[in-house]
Amino acid sequence: MDRDDYLRSRLDEYIWLKSVDAGVSRKRFLQILATAIGATAFGGLANPAPARSEISKSKSLNLTNTFKAKESNILKPLPPGYISHSKGTLEMNWGAMYKRGYIVPNDWFYVHNRSTPPPFDPSTWRLRVEGTGVSTPSSFTYDEIISMPSISVTSAIECAANGRRFFEEVYNQRLSVAGARWRLGAIGVAEWTGVPLSLLLERVGLKSTAVDVLVQGADIDSLHSQKSKFSTVVPIAKALLDNSLVVYAMNGEPLPPDHGQPCRVIFPGWGGNANVKWIERIEVSETPIYTQWVTKQMVLVGSDYLPTAPYKGELITYQNVKSAFELAWPATISAGYHLLRGRSWSGKGKIVRVEVSLDNGKTWQLARLREPNFPFAWVRWDIDWNPVPGEYSLQARATDNLGKTQPTTVRWNNFGLLYGGIVSHPVKVQA
C-alpha cells in the first residue's frame, strides 16, 4: 500500500483497503520443538504442524531469562565490529558481512531496544487478543502459541531511520531528532517462525467489520519520555496477509530476548517500528485506531510533506529501496583485483537490477545478482574491480520489480527517516 493510497482510504472511511502480495519462503524444519513445523512455498500458507510432543514443552526449551545488572539495554554479548549509538542500539558493521551468508546470525543482528528486554516466565506469560473487532476475546499461553500451525518466512527487519546519518551529511544540516545516527546497518534478514496472525484472529472470531489491529509490546520509550507502552497499528488487510506473523523463533532458535522473546510480530516490508517486540496485547477494532507512536513518530515531517489529520506528517508504511557495500566505512584496501560485494533490498518486493559505479557516479555497470533473492528480504550481488592506488567513491543503485529505483537525492524530513538515496562509499586503495 502506497502512503497516498493509505491516506485516501483514511480520509474516505478511515480504513485500510489495500496491501501487497506476500512472499513466503520454503525453509528448513526448525528444531526448537520436538515436532516438525510446517514449511511453506512462496505465496502460500504452510501445512498445519502436528501436535507437539511432551518434550517440546516450554520448560524443555529453557527460555527463562537470566538478567545481569548492567548499563546497557542489550542483553546479548556484543560482537566485534558492531557500532553502538546508545545503550540500546547496535548497528551491523557491513564490513563484517563480506564472508557471511544470506541470513544474519542472531548474535550479529542489529538491535534497537527502547528499554531492557523484560523477564519472561513461560508459565505466566499471556497474549491477550481483544477489542470490538472480535467476537470472543481470549488470552493465549506460550504453550498454546507454539502448538498452533506455523510457517517460516525469510524477511528483513529494517529501522525506518536506517541511513539517518546521510541526511545530515548530504544536507549539511542537523536533524531535530535525538535518535541514533545509523548509516545503513539498522537492517537484518532472518528466518522467522511463528503463527500467522490471521489464524490467531480466526481463533477469537474476527468480525467482518474489523478495521485496524493494534499490537502492544512491553517496552516504554524512555528517549521520548512516553508513558504508554510501545505499540503499532496496521490495517486489517495487512494483518491478514500470509506472511504477517506472531513470531516465536528466529533462525531456528527460540526468539532471543533482544529480538522479542517470547513473541513479536513481523509485517514484512513495513518500517521496523511495526514489528513490535515482547508483545502483550493485540486489539482489533471496528473503528480506526490512532496512537501517539504512529501519528507523531511514524511520519515524514518537513516542508515537502503535508500533514493529514490526525497525522503530524506523511505516514510511513513500506520501506524504500536501498543498497550497501560489504565494506568498512571508510574502507582501506590494497591495489589489485577485488570481488566487490554488496546487498540491495526493497520493502515492496524483490530486487531485479543493481548497478555499480566505481567513479562517483560518472559511469555505471550491472552487478551480478546471486540467489536467493526473496521478496521483502534482500539480494546479494558482486562485481569485479582491479583498482590502482588512490581515493575512490563507490556507489550502488538498485531497482525493484515495481520499477522503483534509488534516486540521487531525497527530500529532507525532520526525523531523518526513509533515506533511500544513492550513497557514496569512501574507499582508499593503497599500493
Q: What is the pLDDT of residue 36?
A: 29
Residues 276 and 328 grouped into a single domain? no
Number of domains in the chain: 2
Residue 380: domain span: 322-430
Give pLDDT, residue 25. Answer: 35
Sign of the dihedral through C-alpha 236, 111, 301, 222 = positive
Does the residue 309 lie in any domain?
no
Asked if residue 332 and residue 243 are part of one domain, the reply reads no
Residue 7 covered by a domain:
no
Q: Considering the domain boundaries, does residue 38 fall inside one? A: yes
Q: Let me know whether 274 and 395 are in one domain.
A: no
- In whole angstroms, give the CA distance from residue 99 to residue 147: 36
Residues 373 and 240 in one domain: no
Give me the CATH number covering residue 18: 3.90.420.10
Specify if 292 maps to a domain: no
What whole-number distance in Å separates Cα of residue 42 and Cα of residue 37? Answer: 16
Task: Specify whether 116 is located in the same domain as 227.
Answer: yes
Cβ neighbours of 106 (radius 10 Å) = 17
Contact predicate 65/119, CB 8 Å = yes
Q: How far is CA 33 from CA 54, 285, 377, in A?
A: 10, 34, 25
Give domain status of residue 99, yes or no: yes
Q: What is the CATH number of the domain that holds 424?
A: 2.60.40.650
- Are residues 187 and 275 located together in one domain of the fold? yes
Q: What is the pTM of this model?
A: 0.83
> Mean pLDDT for each consecutive 10-residue tract of the chain (431 residues)?
39 31 34 31 30 30 37 90 91 93 96 93 96 98 98 98 96 91 97 98 98 93 63 97 98 97 98 96 97 91 92 95 97 97 96 97 98 97 98 98 96 96 98 94
Q: Where do runs of H (alpha helix) occur along 122-184?
A: 142-147, 164-171
Same-domain check for residues 272 and 327: no
pLDDT value, residue 208: 98
What pLDDT is attached to residue 279?
98
Paired residues of 282 in beta bridges: 129, 215
Give domain status of residue 6, yes or no: no
On whether residue 159 sits in a domain, the answer given is yes
Backbone angles phi, psi at 16, to 5 degrees: -95, 135
Which are the contacts of 257, defined by CB distance < 8 A and separation ≥ 6? 65, 75, 76, 117, 120
Residue 356 and residue 230 in one domain? no
Task: Kindly state whether residues 331 and 277 are assigned to the same domain.
Answer: no
Question: Exposed, middle or buried, 266 (CB in 10 Å: 0-12/13-18/19+)?
Answer: buried
Give the number of other Cβ atoms within 10 Å of residue 381's Cβ.
26
344 shares a domain with 398? yes
279-285 and 126-130 beta bridge pairing: parallel
Q: Which of the listed residues 226, 251, 282 is the one where a domain comes to its end?
A: 282
Question: How many CA atoms lie less than 13 Å away from 219 in the CB half-sphere?
Answer: 27
Domain co-membership, 57 together with 141 = yes
Specify whether 22 is located in the same domain as 112.
Answer: yes
The candidate with the shortest Cα–Cα distance to 366, out of 347, 379, 375, is 379
In a domain, 360, yes or no: yes
